[in-house]
Structure 1
């Protein structure tokens, strides 16, 4: 076997015991996560805004960004519930490039998975302690989810993972909303199959155990655009696609259709400054059609302190080292504009 077994990592229970959730913090997490779930269930009419850097790369700048969101949240809390993105794993199409803080807590140093596990748990803990926000992360590795499962308010399954059996079955055992992104091909039937799998109960192997799940009724769609046969970015946030997605939900017999619109990736062609325009169009569709209003629960937006992106060795504070983001000034204006339009 062409694998070098570097070191055995601690099990999640060991890491949790070293970096525990206090009783007081647990109450904050439970209350906060119920609010997020209420929106996905349709029991709360506020709009969900899952927003933050493409990937977390520096704890201090990420917490600086989230603390700014906290101040904005207080002004729009009657219209919007903000869920910061702390994405600690970064999927790479070819496997090359920065893979996130789980791999490299310091992007300029060699990978160290144990330090990464500790770093991402401490960062999510700090976010809750300092801002009261439970945050969103991507479940890139299903077997690693339990290092953070007691801290997260929202989980995303990426476009390259949503067809994977282990991701679907693991999602069925989570107790927070799980957004399943449409696959890179854009197939809505494949997307609906992933949601059905995540909402159903299963028996399977997880971390060396035979586990049984009851299904996750909070599993739902994330539309992020797709690539055509010529690798061109194609959007899927327009009115007609939202109507079609709602029809697929009805055909499947789901009681609670729910979708989040990812305004970057293929929907924007990775042109982050298009995101406010895309939000406005979707909000117009929600106002025009009651079914779309019930379907679209919110947006996923890539945003950081500084506009654009940079190379790892440039060291500009608060600027993405992966996909480009919109900066804070544009972000703040956009959030207030959303609140005015909802």
Structure 2
């Protein structure tokens, strides 16, 4: 085989034993998980804001960002559920480029997956300990989530992974909400098929074991826009798109109908400042139609300490994205306060 074994990685149970969660962190997660579940099941009318950098590239800057969120959360926690976006795996369309902290704990150095697994667990743990906020991550590699499955309060399956069988079946094992993004084609049926698969029980091979899952009743959709065959972005956050989704949810026998609107990616054509306008339009649609207010549970925003993005070089700016461009902190703070007023 054309494959070289670089190292034998520790079992998730062994890594968790070496880097355990404190009782305080476990209590924080249990409480937040209950609150988030109540939102998705309709018991709570709080609005979810999943916000953070495109990719978590530095522990100090990510934790500073999350600590700022925690301070802001004190002003809005009666109306909002803020979930920090700490994405440690970065999907690459061509396979080239920075693949996230799991691969490269130091972005300008060679990949080191063992160091990366340790780094992301330590970063997530530190973020919770300092801020009291549990976070979201992306399930890019289904088998890798076992290193963080006791920490996360939300997971997303990306546009390029949502048709993958292993992602769908692994999602059926989770006891936290999992958001299925529409594929890059924008096809709603593919996305809803993924939700249906995740909500059902399955038997399959996972990490060398024969497993049976319970099904995840909190699996739901994330609208992130799509692209046509010419590569032109087609947004799907407009009122007509939301009504189409509402209608399709009514036709499918799915539990806890819910949607999160991703304000960046193909919805904004990666024009990151457009996220402010897009969120405002989503909030307007919810206010206009009570059924949409029940369906649209939150928004996802790409945001960091500094706005825009930068190259990976020796002149990197602290707290500025090294992948897709993000809103800066000032815009983010204003936007979250606005959401709290209008949701």
TM-score (norm 2): 0.99
The equivalences for 1:85-100 within 5 A come to 85-100=85-100
Aligned to 2:304: 304
Deviations 1:128-179 (A, max 9, x none): 1111111000000000111000000100000000000000000000000000
Question: Unaligned regions of 5+ residues in structure 2, if any?
Answer: none
Per the alignment, residue 46 of structure 1 pairs with 46
Question: SS state of the match for residue 257, structure 1?
Answer: coil
Counterpart-to-counterpart distance in 2, 1:102 and 1:181: 22
Rounded to whole Å, the distance in 2 between the matches of 1:22 and 1:327 is: 32
The alpha carbon displacement at 1:23 in A equals 2.1
SS at match of 1:103: coil
- The aligned counterpart of 1:328 is 329
1:231-283 Cα shifts (integer Å, max 9, x gaps): 01110001111111111111112242100000000000000000010011011
Correspondence for 1:78: 78
Q: How do 1:1-342 and structure 2 match up within 5 A?
A: 1-313=1-313, 314-342=315-343
Q: Measure the CA separation in 1 of the matches of 2:303 and 2:246.
A: 28
State the distance in 2 between where 1:157 and 1:40 align: 17
CA shift for structure 1 position 108? 1.1
Alignment root-mean-square deviation, CA:
0.7
Structure-1 separation of matches of 2:122 and 2:24:
17
CA distance in 2, matches of 1:107, 1:256: 39
> What is the DSSP-based 3-state SS (H/G/I as helix, E as strand, rest coil) of the residue aligned with 2:273?
helix
Q: How many Å apart are 1:24 and its aligned residue?
A: 2.5
SS of the residue corresponding to residue 307 of structure 2 reads coil
Distance in 2, Cα, partners of 1:40 & 1:144: 25
How far apart, CA to CA, are the structure 2 residues paired with 1:339 and 1:129? Answer: 25
Post-superposition offset of 1:54: 0.1
Q: Distance in 1 between matches of 2:128 and 2:65?
A: 13
Residue 99 of structure 1: how far off its partner (Å): 0.3
User: Which TM-score applies when normalising by structure 1?
Assistant: 0.99
Structure 2 residue matching 1:66: 3-state secondary structure:
helix
Q: Deviations over 1:320-339 (max 9, x none)?
A: 00000000010001111111
1:69 is displaced (CA, Å) by 0.4
Give the distance between the partners of 1:103 and 1:71, measured in 2 at CA.
Answer: 31
Once structures 1 and 2 are overlaid, which stretch shifts more, 34-43 or 329-338?
34-43
Give the secondary-structure state (helix, strand or coil) at the position aligned to 2:179.
strand
CA distance in 1, matches of 2:141, 2:204: 16
1: CA distance, partners of 2:59 / 2:302: 17
